[in-house]
Amino acid sequence: MKIYPTKEIRFLDSETIRLRNITSDDLMQEAARGLTTLLLETLDRPLRNGQCKPRQIWLLAGPGNNGGDALSMARMLLQAGHPCRCLLLSGGKTLSPDCRLNAERLQAMAPDALVVNDSGRWQSELLDPLPNLIVDGLFGSGLSRPLTGCFAQAVMWINAQEAEVVSIDLPSGLMGEDNGNNTPDTIVRADHVLGLHYPRLAFLLPENAPYVAHWQLAPLNIPTEAEAQVDTPYCLSEKSEIRALLHPRGTFANKGSFGHGLLIAGCHEMCGGAILAGQGALRSGIGLLDLCVPESVYPTVQTALPEAMVRRNEGDKRCFNSLEGLPLDKYQAIAIGPALGKGPAQKQGLEALLQAIESRQNHRKPVPALLLDADALNLLADHPALWALIPPETILTPHPGELDRLAGQRADSGYERLQRARQIATEHHIHIVLKGAYTAVIASDGRVCFNATGNPGMATGGSGDVLSGILLSLLAQGYQPGEAARLGVWLHGLSGDLALQQPTRQGIADEPDLCRQSTESLTAGDLPRHLGLAFESLKNDIQ
């Protein structure tokens, strides 16, 4: 699903009107019908506080086409038997033609339903009786600067109410992409956002969580000819697209058919990350897994992962520092970093690995796909000279803090961080998996695919280690880095979602207790256990 920046949305609207030979008002009525359908679903649910009181609905309309949508919705709500009133706040501005037309229609249909405030100042006393549901139609995605004057006062009034708030298109005051210079107090804090056809980039960025609690999309008939004229670097992955990436497994396949991967992880103080990453790899279809760990944790890891071929690091007994004993020519993919530690010895080991891969590349020998995670990223940030050794098409999997360290400075917003990640990816011809809600998979050409699976329960230690194992497995099986990244983050998030839905058995074998997880109780160890169901769900469309 494509995500278009605001200026492209305006072009798509105008091209839709031209190609379908309709008026702008026709398109507005189509949008309003879709938005009203979604709003009626909201009306069927209890209020935010759980009460089922009758809805006292006020729609707030601004002077532009977002206000026209709200005015049209008010008319449709009345036609559906839902009493409501609409406050048209012009702020002394001239109404757009479609906004004026729909104000006249509402006035003609139900004169008492339209209240006009064209004084240029906010008059909250006009909203009597007070609403318990506010539909915010003041402004949509066309804003380029923070709200001021009566519109800012209206937003602050909305945010001060106990009413549930539903915003049309975007919460008023929120810009479609970059809100780094916005004014937080003049942005509507919406409980629900009813968008139009395409997600807005702002929906997917962490700084906007206070304003976009939940969002849904109302469909519009946008011609494919219009979309073909507009390029965008952003998309939101859909299940059908991810399913198409899956490689079938042949009846006569053997373990050699699914790749041989090397995981370099763990140190004397930490081995949990190595175990979790190993579980992620083993549960994702890898044919053979070698796991290189220091001798001090070897017994623990070998006991936890009997299916892996655990190798002792031949150098330092407490941490990875040498490639000795590792047959790089056997591996289709290598991942390094989980629980590795970031001392001088580990830096030496990482540098040796990168130099060995570079040497193979220079001698035109097969080069394993490479993934850097966790402490490998921290070593890269601490020793920038290592960047020159990173082979093209490598996957990096930073969380936001790690990305900031790689960039050399802290980002002020998720939007700024995303743009820095795109710059790093294109500059070094690598892939970046920027982890978090709506994990962003950034390709080496700067294109971004946001992930649609996962939940807040996955914000727990070790979750990223499992993802590294999944990605290593997919790379070893022959998936291209971009495909592996998109498929891997989808399966990783889906396993977390399924862990919340599926009861797990706890207790003694003959008297198991069924225990359902919550976002609070979810642990990284739950993720590998649900990867099988995640694969089946993706392949067979199991819900």
CA-closest candidate to residue 397, choices 413, 418, 425, 374: 374
Intrachain domains 2-232 and 240-540 with the same fold: no
Given this model, what pLDDT does residue 316 score?
76
In the DSSP assignment, the letter for residue 411 is -
pLDDT tens digits along 189-216? 999 999 999 999 999 999 999 999 999 9
> Rounded distance, CA 517 to CA 94, Å?
54
Edge-to-edge strands of the sheet including 84-89?
Answer: 114-117, 84-89, 57-61, 133-137, 164-168, 192-196, 215-218
> Rounded distance, CA 158 to CA 138, Å?
11
Strands (E), 253-345: 260-264, 288-293, 309-312, 333-336
Q: Is the peptide bond before 131 cis (omega within 30 degrees of 0)?
A: no
Q: What is the residue extent of each domain of the chain?
A: 2-232, 240-540
Q: Which two tokens stand for residue 220?
A: 């519009």
Helix axes 272-282, 463-476, angle to 10 degrees: 40
pLDDT tens digits along 67-97? 999 999 999 999 999 999 999 999 989 999 9
CA-closest candidate to residue 4, choices 221, 331, 232: 232
Given this model, what pLDDT does residue 226 score?
96
Kindly give the pairing relationship between strand 513-515 and strand 504-506: antiparallel
Given this model, what pLDDT does residue 269 score?
81
Pair 135, 58: CB distance under 8 Å: yes
Edge-to-edge strands of the sheet including 369-372?
Answer: 2-3, 234-236, 448-450, 440-442, 431-434, 395-396, 369-372, 333-336, 260-264, 288-293, 309-312
Share in percent of the chain as helix, strand, coil (round to 5): 45, 15, 40
> Which parts of the chain have pLDDT scores under 70?
47-54, 503-515, 541-543
Instruction: Among 3.40.1190.20, 3.40.50.300, 2.60.120.650, 3.30.70.580, name the CATH number for the domain at 240-540.
Output: 3.40.1190.20
What does each C-alpha distance from 518 to 405, 465, 490 come to in angstroms? 32, 20, 20
> Rounded distance, CA 234 to CA 232, Å?
5
Instruction: Give the distance from CA 436 to its chain's centroid.
Output: 7
C-beta atoms surrounding 235 within 10 Å: 19
Q: Which two tokens stand for residue 395?
A: 């996957």
Given this model, what pLDDT does residue 507 score?
44
Residue type, 164: E
> Rounded distance, CA 59 to CA 115, Å?
10
Question: Is the domain covering 2-232 a CATH 3.40.605.10 domain?
Answer: no
What does each C-alpha distance from 470 to 125, 489, 535 come to in angstroms? 58, 8, 12
Pair 17, 25: CB distance under 8 Å: no
Pair 221, 12: CB distance under 8 Å: no
Q: Which two tokens stand for residue 141?
A: 């995605």
> Rounded distance, CA 224 to CA 203, Å?
24
C-beta atoms surrounding 324 within 10 Å: 9
Given this model, what pLDDT does residue 235 score?
97
Instruction: Give the distance from CA 110 to its chain's centroid.
Output: 43
CA-closest candidate to residue 34, choices 196, 167, 200: 196
pLDDT tens digits along 212-271? 999 999 999 999 999 999 999 999 999 999 999 999 999 999 999 999 999 999 998 889
Pair 491, 456: CB distance under 8 Å: no
- Kindly tell me the burial class for residue 101, based on how many C-beta atoms sit within 10 Å of its own C-beta (0-12, 13-18, 19 or more): middle
